[in-house]
């Protein structure tokens, strides 16, 4: 379905079409918003509207994979950055798990983000100019790599960041091979069409905890069962350099990784400039800008 | 390779060909013992010698899967059995994770074990009469199902049970579908040819802990890396009723299961009557008989 976005966005105070962080269970919301907001022309995005994601094999060439792998290793080892709030360290191991706002920290990644083969994907799907809502690199170690539980990114971005509608996409660019066995992303194809309200009110500074381990804003066992039977579960596997472009409301998760094969990726979130943030829908305060940017300047080449 | 077993087994006090639970790292041991101890005739076991395992699709018919699923549900819910030592309960959830010696608890499983299509597999591979070294049912729940780390069963059975040689096989009969994403068994094909000595001395009553969570008797990160690169990692997937027959020294593991799809299986360990237990090679005392039987009576139909 192609849908021309002409409505004005709902202001705070109007009915919230995506209610969440509730004190009692609420029915699932059938998404009225489209998945593809623009005209899909690229063959590699042909399944995006139906599945809520597309796999882009070889988005980075092997030599680029090497260069960016070197860059993110350098960042992880940069002791000057260690104390930075944007460095998320895993509780048990004291290892770097993620580095946020990496497109501001690394000039090499800043350049990549602006390339048409990258940002063009987001513009095509979102049908407008776009900006970076969030960027990070993720490091999932082998042997004892922790996964993350089922969730919709949009649920969090709506509740905690004030993102009005699911008109955002994530691009996960694999810098390592993704096998079925090393904790690769699991996605439920089509699940972007169902918004799952979650229980529990959001505590202040929730993001400090939730970036390490999700506790609030996760669907119930019943929700996951319903969605898994309706949509199924597939996995994003592929060689280093492959990427997954996925809708902000796709239900996804990752198992732990006990293989010796570590995984790392560059993770970019593009939001439409017609979907800029208002105040959080279900949280006492905004999250920091390195998690949810309020610089809505469109990306230029 | 087919190898006629004519040697006498090494008695305690002779050189231990599979040293483990050591206080310093030791080189890997190239297995001199064969993988297939008898003449392999069955087509479905044709890869056993090379890989150390074979997948047997449809070993149980769908109606049998239903019957045995009902039986193990009944056992898990039997409150009279709850306090039994043979019931292993998961720390966090208080759920039944395994029931040991299930072929003595359930007449239905006792009968199954003696059927030629079951015990015949073990006799063919082990080239002799066989007995049950251990039996259990395993229940891996969905959502928060814990996996288990890389290990060789033989390492434990040798160290803690006094099993002289890797002349034993396990048969895991799936009572639920095994997908790539729900914590299905990962195996390293061919790894049965390498014995990995492990570090750490075995504390008394180690089995009480180790049945819940392995800590001692696990290979190092370096060992796992070496073996994974040499042998690769594959996964046992298949429909309910499929079974995996695998050598006692195959390196295997399982990731956690955060899908809603629970897994359960009947797990049978057959040992050759020419490989009966002596005293533990690296533990202060024997484990209980429900974990490591010392009734060496051959199985009869």
Is residue B29, in this structure, part of any structural domain at all? no
**Mean pLDDT across A240-265:** 97
Name the nearest CA neighbour of A216 among A141, A140, A279, A155.
Answer: A155
Pair of tokens at residue B145:
């199902």
CATH number of the domain to which B194 belongs: 2.60.120.620
**Is residue A79 very low, low, confident or very high in pLDDT (cuts 50, 70, 90)?**
confident
Residues from chain A that touch B95, judged by Cβ atoms under 8 A, are none
* CA atoms of B164 and B133, how far apart (whole Å): 13
pLDDT score of B14: 62
pLDDT score of A9: 42
Is residue B197, in this structure, part of any structural domain at all? yes
Name the nearest CA neighbour of B153 among B124, B191, B182.
Answer: B191
Is residue B6, in this structure, part of any structural domain at all? no
Residues from chain A that touch B260, judged by Cβ atoms under 8 A, are 221, 224-225, 228-229
Domain count, chain A: 1
Is residue A52, in this structure, part of any structural domain at all? yes
**Mean pLDDT across B240-257:** 97
Would you call A4 helix, strand, or coil by DSSP? coil
Residues from chain A that touch B221, judged by Cβ atoms under 8 A, are 142-143, 260
User: Between residues A193 and A92, which one has the greater pLDDT?
Assistant: A193
Report in angstroms the alpha-carbon separations of A140 from A61, A90, A148, A215. Answer: 22, 10, 11, 19
Residue A249 CB partners (closer than 8 Å, separation 6+): A31, A52, A152, A153, A154, A155, A166, A191, A192, A194, A195
* CA atoms of B233 and B253, how far apart (whole Å): 10
**Is residue B65 very low, low, confident or very high in pLDDT (cuts 50, 70, 90)?**
very high
Looking at residue A79, what DSSP letter applies?
Answer: G
* CA atoms of A124 and A250, how far apart (whole Å): 18
- Give residue A101's domain range: 38-272
Q: Is the pLDDT of residue A13 over 60?
A: no
Residues of chain B numbered 207-226 and touching chain A (CB < 8 Å): 221, 224-225
**Is residue A3 very low, low, confident or very high in pLDDT (cuts 50, 70, 90)?**
very low
**Is residue B210 very low, low, confident or very high in pLDDT (cuts 50, 70, 90)?**
low
> What pTM, to 2 d.p., does this model score?
0.88
* CA atoms of B119 and B134, how far apart (whole Å): 13
Is residue A201, in this structure, part of any structural domain at all? yes
Residue B87 in contact with partner chain A when CB distance is under 8 A: no
Is residue B14, in this structure, part of any structural domain at all? no
**Interface contact flag, B183 A255, Cβ < 8 Å:** yes
**How many beta-carbon contacts under 8 Å exist across A and B?**
63
Residue B150 in contact with partner chain A when CB distance is under 8 A: yes
Radius of gyration of chain B (CA): 18
Q: Which residue of A has its CA nearest to B261?
A: A225
Is residue A16, in this structure, part of any structural domain at all? no
**Interface contact flag, B142 A221, Cβ < 8 Å:** yes
**Is residue B10 very low, low, confident or very high in pLDDT (cuts 50, 70, 90)?**
very low
Residues from chain B that touch A180, judged by Cβ atoms under 8 A, are 180-181, 235
Residue A296 in contact with partner chain B when CB distance is under 8 A: no
Is residue B63, in this structure, part of any structural domain at all? yes
């Amino acid at each position: 379905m192609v849908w021309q976005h002409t409505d004005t966005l709902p202001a705070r105070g109007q009915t919230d079409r995506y209610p969440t962080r509730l004190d009692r269970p609420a029915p699932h919301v059938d998404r009225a918003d489209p998945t593809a907001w623009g005209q899909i022309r690229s063959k590699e995005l042909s399944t995006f509207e139906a599945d809520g994601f597309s796999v882009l094999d070889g988005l980075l060439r092997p030599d680029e994979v090497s260069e960016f792998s070197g860059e993110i290793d350098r960042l992880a080892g940069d002791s000057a950055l260690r104390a930075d709030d944007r460095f998320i360290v895993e509780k048990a191991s004291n290892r770097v798990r993620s580095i946020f706002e990496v497109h501001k920290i690394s000039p090499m990644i800043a350049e990549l983000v602006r390339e048409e083969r990258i940002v063009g994907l987001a513009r095509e799907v979102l049908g407008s100019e776009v900006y970076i809502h969030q960027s990070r690199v993720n490091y999932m170690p082998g042997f004892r790599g922790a996964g993350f539980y089922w969730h919709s990114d949009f649920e969090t971005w709506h509740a905690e960041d004030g993102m009005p509608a699911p008109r955002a996409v994530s691009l996960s660019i694999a810098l390592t091979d993704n096998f079925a066995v090393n904790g690769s992303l699991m996605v439920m194809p089509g699940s972007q069409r169902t918004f799952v309200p979650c229980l529990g009110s959001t505590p202040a500074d929730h993001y400090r905890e939730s970036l390490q381990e999700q506790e609030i804003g996760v669907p119930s066992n019943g929700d996951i069962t319903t969605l898994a039977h309706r949509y199924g579960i597939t996995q994003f596997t592929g060689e280093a350099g492959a990427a997954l472009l996925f809708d902000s409301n796709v239900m996804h998760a990752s198992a732990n990784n006990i293989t010796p094969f570590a995984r790392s990726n560059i993770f970019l979130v593009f939001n439409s400039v017609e979907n800029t943030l208002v105040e959080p829908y279900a949280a006492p305060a905004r999250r920091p800008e390195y998690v949810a940017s309020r610089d809505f300047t469109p990306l230029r080449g």
